Amino acid sequence: MRQSHPHISLGDLCALFGVTRQAYYDAIRYAEKTTIAKMVVLTLVKEIRIQMPLLWTRKLLHVLEPRLIEHGIKMGRDQLFNLLRFHGLLIRRRKRIVRTTDSNHIFKRYPNLIKELIITGPEQLWVSDITYIRTVQGFSYLSLITDAYSRKIVGYALHPTLEATGCLRAWRWRYLTGSMCLPSTHPSFGPWDPVLLQRVYRNASTLWSRYKHDPKRQSLR
């Protein structure tokens, strides 16, 4: 503003904005100090990233802290995140995707027998799939049989392996008539605790949602 109006003194400008000359000079010094501190932090970050290019920001802050103290710089986690984000130095966390389907196999591929099928009511077509549930002991495998029309689970079995035994037990446990009601115990896996039962319901819902929105599958309705 002083460049646009050189005839106006600094004292008049400070009075216009309601600040003192000392506050004005303090703001300039603070801005310069902050800029220098950011430049130092960016330089240190680039040096560390050369040695550890995949170091996440939270761990990076722990590595930086001793060197920041040496330079008399105080910077918290959020400030470091904002600084790295502004300069495009954040590292995107890679999501771990568990691959559960492998279509490149040597086994026989069966034709789609329901491609032209039009479903008009329940108990005309069942669809089945297997999903995994992480437990303290490892993975357990949930075999589900779902009625394609009513979208109800008509059979299930939780098995510790991917053997065909789990699928066969789910098929034997199917419900041909009446309303669907999962019991609290099952002969294939013993007693169910409430937490595990909730996970079964959640995984079953997710499984059906994936099946319903899978573009590679033909519509069943």
Structural domain count, the chain: 2
What mean pLDDT comes out for the span 100-123?
80
Q: Using CA of residue 127, residue 130, residue 133, residue 137, what is the dihedral sign?
A: positive
Q: Is residue 190 over pLDDT 60? A: no
Residue 37 lies in a domain: yes
- Within this chain, do residues 81 and 139 fall inside the same structural domain, yes or no? no
Residue 26 lies in a domain: yes
Q: Which of 35, 68, 87 is the last residue of a domain?
A: 87
Q: Is residue 221 over pLDDT 70? A: no
Rounded Cα gap, residues 145 and 98, in angstroms: 22
Rounded Cα gap, residues 130 and 107, in angstroms: 18
Contact predicate 204/219, CB 8 Å? no
Residue 205 lies in a domain: yes
Residue 153 lies in a domain: yes
Contact predicate 41/73, CB 8 Å? yes
Quick: pLDDT tens for 1-40: 656 666 677 777 777 777 787 777 777 788 888 888 889 8
Quick: pLDDT tens for 147-183: 888 888 888 888 888 888 888 888 887 654 444 444 3
* Average pLDDT along the chain: 75
For residues 208 and 66, the model is more confident at 66
Residue 27 lies in a domain: yes
Rounded Cα gap, residues 166 and 154, in angstroms: 15
Rounded Cα gap, residues 15 and 181, in angstroms: 77
**pLDDT score of 188:** 41
Rounded Cα gap, residues 15 and 36, in angstroms: 29
Domain membership of residue 74 as a residue range: 10-87
- Within this chain, do residues 83 and 140 fall inside the same structural domain, yes or no? no
- Within this chain, do residues 15 and 75 fall inside the same structural domain, yes or no? yes
For residues 64 and 187, the model is more confident at 64
Contact predicate 63/48, CB 8 Å? yes
Q: Which of 68, 87, 106 is the last residue of a domain?
A: 87
- Within this chain, do residues 20 and 81 fall inside the same structural domain, yes or no? yes
**pLDDT score of 3:** 65
Q: Which residue shows structure tokens 């002083």?
A: 2
